[in-house]
Amino acid sequence: MTSLPAPAPSATGAKPPATARRIGARVLIGVPLAAYALVSLYPFLWMVSGAFKDQFEVVRGGHLIPEHPTLHTLTDTWNRLHFFDYFLNSLKVTALTVVLTLLIYAAAGYAFAVLRFPGRDWLYRLFVALLFVPGVTVLLPIILLEHNLGVLGTHYGLVLPFVNGTAPLSVMLLTGAFRAVPKELRDSARVDGAGEAHIFARVHLPLARPALITVALLTAIPTWNEYLLTKVSLNDESAYTLSLGLQQLSAQNVPHYNNLMAGALIVVIPVILLFLALQRYFVNGLVGAVKG
């Protein structure tokens, strides 16, 4: 007996094709994310807009795009309010913090990843556990220690706590990156007569460059923007960083909101440019450290 062909599915009961389902899922996820992105970006765009307006136009409100755009607000904020000196101070503190962080914790990450010594695993776990300790809980001990060391109120009194505060995350990322380096490369260098320092500098550091750049970014951005310890430590206006300069603008009796927005733009532009320039290495560094 010949079998009859199966009836075709009705139009109403047919399932949508896989491509249509994927498009529908992307739209369902993409629309809320796009709306959230617009809401998040709006204050930043308003800050950028206000930096190119005069005080009257900012107070009056109105459109996001300036009606009479001007560079006078930026130049006035940069020149008259000593922002160039604040910029140099922030650059000095951030650069010293990044350099010391890379030097110290690259060596520490190499030791945790490659070398064998008693208590290595427990010490590494201790560093990772420090990630969950809020920095504000050690603020008073840091101030007292800096006072006893004679560095309170100086830029070095900012750099040392910043370097210490980056230890947990830096050690975790760099240890993971160094563990991802093939063991055969180390063994080959050892056979050729290379010492530990040579293997560290010529084998592991070049291969861990994305992780090093990631650590540098994760150190530079919060150091550049840091306010609490800087506010508590520094009393000399000549040593102020950009965050304190920006706070001075907002603390005026009659704040000029266009200058305040221009100051905020000056603060964030270097961070944005730095991240955009190193974004590829940042993503690769995070992926490599997680795999390691």
In a domain, 4, yes or no: no
Note whether residue 38 is domain-resident.
yes
- pLDDT at res. 3: 53
241 and 105 belong to one structural domain? yes
DSSP-assigned states of every residue in 52-96: TS-HHHHHH---SS-SS--SHHHHHHHHHTTHHHHHHHHHHHHHH
CATH classification at residue 246:
1.10.3720.10
In a domain, residue 3? The reply is: no
Does 128 map to a domain?
A: yes
Do 115 and 42 lie in a common domain?
no
**221 plus 169 within the same structural domain:** yes
Rounded to whole angstroms, how far apart are CA atoms 12 and 35? Answer: 33
pLDDT computed for residue 1 by the predictor: 47
User: What is the per-residue pLDDT across 43-62, written as a single tens digit (0 to 9) for each?
Assistant: 888 888 988 888 888 888 77
Question: 180 and 229: one domain?
Answer: yes
Does some domain include residue 2?
no
- Same domain, yes or no: 28 and 164: no
Q: How far is C-alpha 85 from the chain's CA centre? A: 23
The pLDDT of residue 291 is 54
56 and 168 housed in the same domain? no
Give the pTM. 0.82
**Looking at the domain assignment, is residue 14 inside a domain?**
no
Identify whether 1 is part of a domain.
no
| Tens-place pLDDT, residues 98-155 | 999 999 999 999 999 998 889 899 999 998 888 888 888 888 889 999 999 889 989 9
User: Could you tell me if 122 and 63 lie in one domain?
Assistant: no
pLDDT at 93 over 90: yes
**Domain co-membership, 96 together with 53:** no
Q: How far apart are CA 132 and CA 262, in angstroms?
A: 35
Lowest mean pLDDT among 10-19, 43-52, 237-246, 266-275: 10-19
Residue at 204 is within a domain: yes
Q: What is the pLDDT of residues 271-283, one digit of tens each?
A: 888 888 887 776 6
Mean pLDDT of the chain: 84
Q: Do residues 90 and 53 both lie within one domain?
A: no
The dihedrals phi and psi of 69, each to the nearest 5 degrees, come to: -60, 140
**173 and 45 share one domain:** no
Q: Which of 1-15, 187-201, 235-249, 270-284 has the lowest mean pLDDT?
A: 1-15
* 67 and 149 within one domain: no
- Quote the domain boundaries for residue 59: 20-72
The number of folded domains in the chain is: 2
Question: Residue 269 pLDDT > 70, yes or no?
Answer: yes
Domain final position from 32, 51, 72: 72
In this structure, the answer to whether residues 232 and 281 fall within a common structural domain is yes
